Structure 1
Amino acid sequence: MGGEPDRIPDTPLLDRERQLRGYRMNKMAMGLGDPANRAAFKADEPAYLDRFGLNEEEKAAVLSRDWKEMVRLGGNLFFILKISAVDPVRITEIGAHQAGMDHESFLRDRLGKKV
């Protein structure tokens, strides 16, 4: 990306440039609200991603469920969370991944939960 670097370490800012870059990924994720699209995604994820024109970097992030990378590539967290509903993945697991922590540590250290 050619814009100003992120100003908060390890936190990609969802600015206009990143939003435009993530359009295809966000459109794909929003489509998962439709049961037929969820079924198509489950049946053949790469083919479903190709329908939306995702590039190789975006496809790799989605296929590996690299939540942090999806956000860095312009994925709006509210949209890409629809992917987690297909697997399903708990939002706290995504938070742990974003923070670079294991789930138990995240629950204990970030959310104050007794594990």
Structure 2
Amino acid sequence: MSARKPAPIPDTPLFDRAGSHRGYELNKMAMSLVSAANREAFAADEEAYLDRYKLSPEQRAAVLARDWQGMIRLGGNIFYILKISALDPMPVTAIGAAQVGMDHEDFLVERLGKERRNG
């Protein structure tokens, strides 16, 4: 009996074995940010910090641009990528909005049922 592969969810990158291998250095770099010294080094000079890791040019550009969707597509694991977002600081809902290509305020209203802010 063979295991059936689940049907893909449209526009949703699957974090599978191939994604894990593809994103290894990106995830390793992101996980390194649990150390206060590493967070300070990253904040002081992001490009120099990224030089410590064998990121692909696309991964490097995605980190520098805070392209959350791109990082996920390039093998980033959301739990590791959140380590990068904590430095900005970036609310997790803003990353969720970026993942689905929505404005953050619209995401809060449409996906989470929040009331629209007046202002």
CA apart distance, 1:46: 1.0
Q: Residue 38 of structure 1 aligns with which residue?
A: 39
1:24-52 per-residue CA deviation (whole Å, 9 max, x = no partner) reads 00000000000000011011111111101
Count of residue pairs brought into register by the alignment: 111
Q: Which runs of 5+ in 2 are unaligned?
A: 1-6
Share of identical aligned residues, percent?
Answer: 64
Q: 1:38 is matched by which residue type in structure 2?
A: R
Q: Residue 3 of structure 1 aligns with which residue?
A: none
Matches for 1:91-110 after TM superposition, within 5 Å? 91-110=92-111
Q: Residue 28 of structure 1 aligns with which residue?
A: 29
> Runs of at least 4 residues of structure 1 off by over 6 A?
none
RMSD of equivalent CA atoms: 1.3
Q: Residue 49 of structure 2 aligns with which residue?
A: 48
What is the TM-score with the length of structure 1 in the denominator? 0.93
Q: Residue 80 of structure 1 aligns with which residue?
A: 81
Q: Which runs of 5+ in 1 are unaligned?
A: 1-5
1:32-87 per-residue CA deviation (whole Å, 9 max, x = no partner) reads 00000001101111111110111211000000000001000110000010001111
Q: Aligned with 2:62: secondary structure?
A: helix
CA apart distance, 1:110: 0.4
Higher Rg = 2
CA distance in 2, matches of 1:57, 1:99: 20
